[in-house]
Amino acid sequence: MTAALVDHYLIHLESKLGNSQHYCGSTEDWLMRCKQHQASSFERFPDPQIVNGTRRMGVKHGLGATFLAAANSAGIRWAVVRLWRGPRELEQELKRRKKLSHFCPICNPEPQPELSAIIEF
Answer whether residue 45 is part of any domain.
Answer: no
**What are the pLDDT digits (tens) for 51-89?**
888 888 888 888 899 999 999 999 999 999 998 888 888
Which residue range forms the structural domain that includes residue 106? 5-38+75-120
Q: Report which of 104, 109, 112 is spatially closest to residue 79, judged by C-alpha positions.
A: 104
Instruction: Kindly report the number of other CB atoms within 10 A of residue 83's CB atom.
Output: 13
Answer whether residue 57 is part of any domain.
Answer: no
Answer whether residue 60 is part of any domain.
Answer: no
Answer whether residue 69 is part of any domain.
Answer: no
Domain tally, the chain:
1
Answer whether residue 43 is part of any domain.
Answer: no
Inform me whether the pLDDT recorded for 110 exceeds 80.
no
pTM, two decimal places: 0.81
The Cα–Cα gap between 19 and 42 comes to 18
Inform me whether the pLDDT recorded for 12 exceeds 90.
yes
